[in-house]
């Protein structure tokens, strides 16, 4: 393993960092205040080739693998975790099943426009009664000739109200449990498909919705892969998504650290910057050390994944470690900023609100530990 990014990766990191500073940062305050995702970013990033950097060049991607996706997600999350959520779903969960198991026609109709930013994608998995127990999906799809009739609902769906299509996990045979789950693409405008926005504690700039499907007639040609293989496709998508999720946690942790370091140099108490006091200096030293450890873990796992390793143990490890780190460092940043951090306009106030979610999405920490323990043979 090379312990340095190659030149292409370095150039990509600088390009995304510059884009985040110029194009994303100016939109954050308004997006957070309005609780809306700036949909124009999908188009801008797609046209520059930044939206799905891990996907093959033949479909418009950057060919940089999971490592490239992590670079993109980390740099965007340093600016805004909420906005990053929608872009991250586009570059992974919502499109990966199509890339891996879709027909060439589906790739041209859904994947290529998503990679280019011409279409926004969502991923419909979680339901009111199916979260950690993903096999308990109740949304059904019954075959009727050349169509599937879909009924049910999904909740906490990123990009839900702005998406052009949703990659949907459905039950096509409830008697088979997880072996009866399939994946179907449902397009915006399909009769019976509706979405309503959900307000949240954090990630205000992420579009989050409840989706409802009432007798939605969807062409059978929108079935991804084979019937009954959707649960397997879901696990594959989640495994890679956990690595990029860890990169998002890393980006927020880095932002919390940088804001705290800057504040510690500027804030004066008892005649000197607070960073000169050992208590604050040691906090910052520990924050920097933990970020460095997380970065090595995450990019090693991304590298392993790019070599063809499934990382069934390592991906959950990276997700658990990085989400814990982000929450802990966001809290440390709040303590270093004291009253200034508690104000609504404070950046660290947003970091703290956003980080709390990291233990939940892409599988809770408890589920990750369950997966890890099973991989250890327990």
Count the helices and strands in the chain (H runs, E runs): 14, 10
Topology of the domain covering 7-115? Butyryl-Coa Dehydrogenase, subunit A; domain 1 (1.10.540)
Which pLDDT does position 2 carry in this prediction? 66
Q: What is the pLDDT of residues 253-284, one digit of tens each?
A: 999 999 999 999 999 999 999 999 999 999 99
Confidence of residue 303 (pLDDT cuts 50, 70, 90): very high
Average pLDDT of 202-214? 98
pTM for the full model? 0.96
pLDDT score recorded for residue 3: 74
362 catalytic? Reply is: yes
Does the pLDDT value for residue 1 go beyond 70?
no
How large a percentage of the chain has pLDDT more than 90?
Answer: 97
pLDDT given at position 345: 85
What is the dotted CATH code of the domain comprising 232-375?
1.20.140.10
Quick one: 6 exposed, middle or buried, by C-beta within 10 A (0-12, 13-18, 19+)?
Answer: exposed
What confidence category does residue 201 fall into, taking pLDDT thresholds of 50, 70 and 90? very high
Q: What is the pLDDT of residues 125-136, one digit of tens each?
A: 999 999 888 889
35 within 8 A of 205, measured Cβ to Cβ = yes
> Domain locations in the chain?
7-115, 121-228, 232-375
Given the residues 74, 127, 314, 362, the one annotated as active site? 362
pLDDT at 4: 87
Domain 121-228 top-level CATH class: mainly beta
Q: Which of 277, 284, 283, 250 is nearest to 355 (CA)?
A: 250
Q: What is the mean pLDDT of the chain?
A: 97
**What pLDDT is attached to residue 134?**
82
CB contact at 8 A, 136 and 130: yes
CA-based radius of gyration for the chain: 21
């Amino acid at each position: 393993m090379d312990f340095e990014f190659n030149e292409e990766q370095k150039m990509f990191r600088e390009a995304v960092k510059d884009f985040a500073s110029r194009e994303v940062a100016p939109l954050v305050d308004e997006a957070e205040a309005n609780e809306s995702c700036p949909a124009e970013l999908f188009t801008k990033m797609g046209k520059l080739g930044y939206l799905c950097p891990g996907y093959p060049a033949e479909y418009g991607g950057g060919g940089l693998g999971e490592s490239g996706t992590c670079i993109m997600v980390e740099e965007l999350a340093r600016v805004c975790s909420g906005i990053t959520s929608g872009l991250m779903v586009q570059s992974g969960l919502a499109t990966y099943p199509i890339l891996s198991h879709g027909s060439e026609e589906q790739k041209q109709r859904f994947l290529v426009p998503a990679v280019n930013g011409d279409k926004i994608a969502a991923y419909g998995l979680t339901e009111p009664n199916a979260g950690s127990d993903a096999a308990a999906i109740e949304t059904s799809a019954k075959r009727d000739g050349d169509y599937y009739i879909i009924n049910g609902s999904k909740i906490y769906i990123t990009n839900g109200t702005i998406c052009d299509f949703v990659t949907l996990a459905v039950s096509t045979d409830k008697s088979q449990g997880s072996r009866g789950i399939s994946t179907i693409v449902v397009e915006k405008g399909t009769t019976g498909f509706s979405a309503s926005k959900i307000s949240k504690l954090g990630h205000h700039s992420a579009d989050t919705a409840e989706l409802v499907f009432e007798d939605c007639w969807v062409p059978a040609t929108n079935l991804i892969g084979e019937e009954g293989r959707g649960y397997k496709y879901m696990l594959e998508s989640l495994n890679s998504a956990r690595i990029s999720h860890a990169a998002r946690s890393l980006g927020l942790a880095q932002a919390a650290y940088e804001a705290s370091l800057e504040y510690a140099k500027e804030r004066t108490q008892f005649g000197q910057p607070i960073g000169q006091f050992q208590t604050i200096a040691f906090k910052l030293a520990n924050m920097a050390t933990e970020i460095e450890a997380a970065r090595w873990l995450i990019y090693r796992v991304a590298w392993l994944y790019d070599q063809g390793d499934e990382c069934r143990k390592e991906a959950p490890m990276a997700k658990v470690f990085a989400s814990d780190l982000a929450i802990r460092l966001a809290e440390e940043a709040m303590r270093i900023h004291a009253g200034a951090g508690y104000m609504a306009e404070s950046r660290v106030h947003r970091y703290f609100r956003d980080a709390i979610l990291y233990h939940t999405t892409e599988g809770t920490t408890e589920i990750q530990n369950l997966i890890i323990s099973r991989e250890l043979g327990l």
